[in-house]
């Protein structure tokens, strides 16, 4: 008899409707979505622009509250401090404080994760070495290239030794070498037992790193399954589920 | 708690690395040193000292308040706009800590700049600040104007002289009118009669010969000076009163022998030709020696820092709810209204005969005046320049309300708003 892995993230019938000033509904961003992310797996949320991926991620992070349904992180509400203690987040853009150096940035986030000063310094050195930024540890991140800033952001997501890492478009804006490095790192973290929830437009990247994917379209789940069991490439599977290219901005041009 | 210090440190780093704090400190120091050269005094060391304190420190206070308000209204709003705030909010940090740490950091920066200006004040004022002592200002022991208003209410409403419109007005409105009157209630001291006022010397040194002063304002209802002659007595101390020139007079009380009067009771015997009109709550004061100018300056700094803290807390609260330009605009409008409100309320204590729009304006002014009383009631520089003691109990109260209670309340409100604002 095998033990079912623990569900780290669960969404149960979750919807999110954005409203205007007069509380009239304007957009249904997520519609009755249910999913479960198991401990130790790399779970990919895929979908075209506006499909509800970022809204779903923000509800999981507690930055947005669902209009209906329930979000649980480690069995807790996503806004609880105990749940946030076990979470690391890499946003789509790096959003770093430009006046802090790379080392100060990591020490700042280590402090927010309540790491003692000495451990924070050790963890900072470790992570800077891991993302290859030891040489520029004392340079303000405002002067960093996009790729370097991305690596600092990734390191700061990992600084509190999270059990769940949420990555929003982790390879966005990276060159092919950096993209490969990030993918290698995510795979290594997953091998180490970390649960990873990622969104991506890059189907090839998702195919490389994800154990399981869910495809969203218009806020609804249109398909879910293990990448290894698709029987086709993720791109073909995606286009079949999302409806070829009609949902993309280029569709009118491509169809002549 | 560690997160609090990290956010606190981050905010201070932002201020120092953007050179904002350095520029504000330099501008404040330059202003303190420039004021004695820019403003023409009356030629006396005393006058120059007053110029330095009121215009020098007052100018720095205004500069720090506006600068810190600008920084506070941007603190959360700019981070939210740049999406950096969400990176803090997904960490295991209570939202209250985020707001509280930002308030603490900005208030500390403001207090540090004010401390620099206060440290420069004795140098800017020259020798006039050396070896000075300030005085406690004691007022006669009387029921508070609010208590007096309540006591007068029933009789006033029964009186046939009371206008019908007032009789139909709400109790709170009538009480407010009576309270204003109580502040200005005149007491008539007839020729050859003696007026008595009791004073309490709690927590101050017992009055000694030559060290205690009595300050009187002898003016009639038209605010013009009155000719006066008579004798003041406080226990075994006394002074002869004779005036033809000034409205406000200060008399040193000295042991001149003779009968000792009642302990703690100041008496004034009117030996002049005319009866005198005096408002005991405003016109009769005893000045008793207190501690040094430097201690008084320190207490004034604490009160000013308390004001800056509350302003910063209000700015951070607005920053949680609004975008930076709207928050800054709202805060400045609120500051201006709160500056004007006390004088509006004083000039128009009731709304009888006013139009609807005037009544609404008065209601707004009164609400703002009441809400901002903890800040507007603090005016340490005026007293500092007159060598009047900024009382330690007032400082404790100002710190308890403006540095602790209200900022905590505003930080709680900001924490409540922060996640809701992310929904937009």
pLDDT digits (tens, 9 = 90+) for B174-223: 888 888 888 888 888 888 888 888 888 877 776 676 788 888 887 665 55
- Output the CA angle B207-B267-B245, nearest 5 degrees: 95
Write down the pLDDT at residue B151: 86
Of residues A37 and B161, which shows the higher confidence score?
A37
Write down the pLDDT at residue B130: 65
- Minimal CA–CA distance to A93: which of B159, B250, B87? B87
The whole-angstrom separation of Cα A222 and Cα B155 is 80
In this prediction, the residues of chain A whose per-residue pLDDT falls under 70 are 1-3, 230-232, 234, 240-256
Q: Does residue B308 surpass a pLDDT of 90?
A: yes
Helices (H), B240-371: 280-283, 293-321, 324-347, 356-371
**Is residue B2 packed enough to be buried (19+ CB in 10 Å), middle (13-18) or exposed (0-12)?**
middle
Is the distance from CB of B360 to CB of B329 less than 8 angstroms?
no
Three-state secondary-structure class, residue B239: strand
- Count the neighbouring beta carbons within 10 Å of the beta carbon of residue A185: 18
Write down the pLDDT at residue A255: 42
Average of per-residue pLDDT across B61-90: 92
- Count the neighbouring beta carbons within 10 Å of the beta carbon of residue B261: 18
Q: Angle, to 10 degrees, between the axis of helix B356-371 and the axis of helix B324-347?
A: 110
- Output the CA angle A42-A43-A48, nearest 5 degrees: 135
- Count the neighbouring beta carbons within 10 Å of the beta carbon of residue B49: 26
Using a CB-CB cut-off of 8 Å, the residues of chain B touching A84 are: 90-93
Does the CB of A27 have a partner CB in chain B at under 8 Å?
no
For domain A5-86+163-173+183-249, give the fold.
Rossmann fold (3.40.50)
Does the CB of B256 have a partner CB in chain A at under 8 Å?
no
Average of per-residue pLDDT across B160-169: 80
The whole-angstrom separation of Cα A134 and Cα A125 is 7
* In chain B, where the domains are located: 2-131+294-421, 138-290
pLDDT digits (tens, 9 = 90+) for B246-266: 677 788 887 766 666 667 888
Q: A215: which strand partners?
A: A46, A223
Is the distance from CB of B130 to CB of B34 less than 8 angstroms?
no
Compare all CA atoms of chain A with the CA of B5 and give the residue at the minimum distance: A111
- Minimal CA–CA distance to B57: which of B293, B389, B301, B332? B301
Q: Closest Cα of chain A to B322: distance in Å?
A: 14
Write down the pLDDT at residue B251: 81
The whole-angstrom separation of Cα B44 and Cα B62 is 26
The whole-angstrom separation of Cα B385 and Cα B118 is 13
Is the distance from CB of B263 to CB of B234 less than 8 angstroms?
no
Compare all CA atoms of chain A with the CA of B14 and give the residue at the minimum distance: A99
pLDDT digits (tens, 9 = 90+) for B364-397: 888 888 777 766 666 788 888 888 888 898 899 9
Write down the pLDDT at residue A180: 85
Does the CB of A139 have a partner CB in chain B at under 8 Å?
no
- Minimal CA–CA distance to B204: which of B144, B260, B138, B132? B138
Using a CB-CB cut-off of 8 Å, the residues of chain B touching A112 are: 3, 6-7, 88, 91-93
Does the CB of B10 have a partner CB in chain A at under 8 Å?
yes
The whole-angstrom separation of Cα B217 and Cα B195 is 14
Write a three-state SS string for chain A. CCCCCCEEEEEEEEEEEEECCCCCEEEEEEEEEEEEEECCCEEEEECCCCCCHHHHHHHHHCCCCCCEEEEEECCECCCCHHHHCCEEEECCCCCCCCCCEHHHHHHHHHHHCCCCHHHHHHHHHHHHHHCCCHHHCCCEHHHCCHHHHHHHHHHHHHCCCCCEEEEECCCCCCCHHHHHHHHHHHHHHHHCCCEEEEEECCHHHHHHHCCEEEEEECCEEEEEEEHHHCCCCHHHHHHHHHCCCCCCCCHHHHCC
Write down the pLDDT at residue B104: 96
Using a CB-CB cut-off of 8 Å, the residues of chain B touching A99 are: 13-14, 17-18
End-to-end CA distance of chain B: 29
- Count the neighbouring beta carbons within 10 Å of the beta carbon of residue A226: 11
> Which phi and psi angles does B279 have, rounded to 5°?
-100, 105
- pLDDT class of B128 with cuts at 50, 70, 90: low
What's chain B's average pLDDT?
85
- Selected residues 209-238 of chain A with any CB under 8 Å from a CB in chain B: none
Strands A42-46, A195-200: pairing is parallel
User: Residues near A176 by Cβ (< 8 Å), separated by ≥ 6?
Assistant: none
Does the CB of A241 have a partner CB in chain B at under 8 Å?
no
Compare CB distances from A61 to B2, B84, B90 and report the shortest one's residue.
Answer: B90
Q: What is the ipTM of this complex?
A: 0.85
Using a CB-CB cut-off of 8 Å, the residues of chain A touching B422 are: 58, 63-64
Q: Please state which of the four CATH numbers 2.60.120, 3.90.550, 3.40.1350, 3.30.450 is assigned to the domain occupying B138-290.
A: 2.60.120
Is the distance from CB of B137 to CB of B296 less than 8 angstroms?
no
- Selected residues 64-93 of chain B with any CB under 8 Å from a CB in chain A: 82-84, 86-93
Distances (CA, A) of A228 to A30, A184, A211, A224, A239: 27, 18, 7, 12, 17
Of chain B, the percentage scoring pLDDT greater than 70 comes to 91
Q: Give the side-chain half-sphere CA count within 13 A for A39.
A: 11
Q: Does residue B349 surpass a pLDDT of 50?
A: yes
End-to-end CA distance of chain A: 56
User: Residues near B394 by Cβ (< 8 Å), separated by ≥ 6?
Assistant: B303, B378
């Amino acid at each position: 008899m095998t033990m079912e892995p623990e569900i780290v993230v669960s969404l149960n019938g979750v919807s999110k409707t954005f409203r205007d000033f007069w509380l009239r509904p304007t957009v249904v961003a997520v519609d009755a979505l249910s999913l479960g992310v198991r401990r130790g797996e790399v779970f990919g949320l895929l979908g075209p622009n506006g499909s509800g991926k970022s809204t779903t991620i923000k509800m999981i992070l507690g930055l947005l509250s669902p209009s209906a349904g329930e979000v649980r992180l480690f069995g807790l509400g996503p806004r609880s401090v105990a749940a946030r203690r076990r979470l690391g987040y890499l946003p789509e853009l790096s959003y770093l404080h430009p006046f802090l150096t790379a080392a100060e940035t990591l020490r700042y986030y280590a402090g927010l994760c309540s790491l003692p000063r000495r451990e924070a310094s050790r963890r900072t050195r470790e992570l800077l070495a891991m993302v290859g930024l030891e040489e520029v540890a004392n340079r303000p991140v405002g002067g960093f290239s996009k790729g370097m800033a991305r690596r600092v952001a990734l390191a700061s997501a990992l600084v509190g030794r999270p059990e769940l890492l949420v990555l929003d478009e982790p390879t966005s804006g990276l060159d092919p070498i950096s993209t490969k490095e990030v993918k290698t790192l995510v795979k290594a973290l997953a091998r180490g037992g970390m649960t990873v929830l990622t969104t991506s437009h890059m189907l090839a990247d998702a195919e490389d790193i994800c154990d399981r994917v869910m495809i969203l379209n218009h806020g609804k789940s249109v398909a879910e399954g293990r990448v290894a069991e698709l029987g086709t490439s993720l791109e073909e599977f995606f286009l079949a589920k999302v409806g070829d290219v009609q949902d993309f901005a280029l569709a009118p041009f491509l169809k002549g | 708690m560690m997160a609090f210090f990290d956010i606190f440190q981050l905010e201070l780093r932002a201020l120092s690395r953007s050179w904002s704090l350095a520029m504000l400190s330099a501008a404040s120091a330059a202003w303190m040193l420039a004021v004695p050269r820019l403003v023409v005094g009356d030629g006396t060391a005393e006058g120059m000292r007053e110029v330095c304190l009121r215009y020098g420190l007052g100018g720095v206070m205004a500069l720090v308040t506006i600068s810190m308000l600008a920084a506070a209204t941007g603190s959360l709003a700019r981070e939210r706009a740049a999406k950096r705030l969400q990176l803090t909010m997904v960490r295991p940090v209570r939202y209250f800590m985020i707001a509280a740490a930002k308030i603490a950091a900005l208030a500390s920066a403001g207090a540090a700049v004010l401390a620099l200006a206060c440290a420069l004040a004795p140098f800017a004022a020259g020798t006039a600040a050396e070896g000075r002592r300030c005085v406690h200002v004691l007022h006669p022991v009387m029921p508070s104007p609010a208590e007096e208003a309540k006591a007068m209410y029933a009789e006033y409403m029964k009186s046939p002289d009371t206008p019908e419109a007032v009789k139909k007005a709400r109790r709170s409105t009538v009480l407010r009118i009576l309270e204003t009157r109580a502040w200005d209630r005149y007491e008539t001291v007839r020729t050859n009669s003696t007026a008595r006022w009791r004073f309490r010397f709690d927590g101050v040194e017992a009055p000694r010969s030559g060290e205690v002063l009595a300050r009187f304002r002898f003016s009639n209802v038209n605010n013009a000076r009155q000719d006066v002659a008579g004798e003041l007595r406080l226990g075994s101390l006394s002074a002869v009163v004779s005036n033809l020139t000034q409205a406000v007079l200060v008399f040193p009380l000295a042991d001149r022998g003779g009968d000792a009067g009642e302990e703690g009771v100041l008496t004034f015997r009117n030996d002049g030709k005319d009866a005198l009109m005096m408002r005991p709550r405003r016109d009769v004061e005893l000045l008793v020696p207190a501690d040094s100018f430097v201690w008084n300056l320190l207490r004034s700094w604490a009160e000013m820092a308390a004001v800056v803290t509350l302003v910063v807390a209000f700015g951070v609260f607005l920053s949680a709810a609004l975008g930076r330009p709207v928050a800054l605009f709202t805060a400045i409008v609120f500051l201006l209204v709160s500056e004007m409100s006390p004088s509006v309320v004083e000039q128009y204590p009731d709304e009888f005969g006013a139009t609807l729009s005037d009544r609404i304006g008065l209601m707004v002014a009164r609400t703002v005046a009441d809400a901002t009383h903890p800040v507007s009631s603090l005016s340490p520089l005026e007293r500092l320049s007159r060598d009047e003691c900024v009382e330690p109990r007032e400082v404790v109260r100002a710190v308890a309300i403006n540095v602790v209670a209200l900022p905590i309340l505003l930080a709680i409100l900001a924490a409540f708003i922060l996640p809701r604002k992310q929904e937009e």
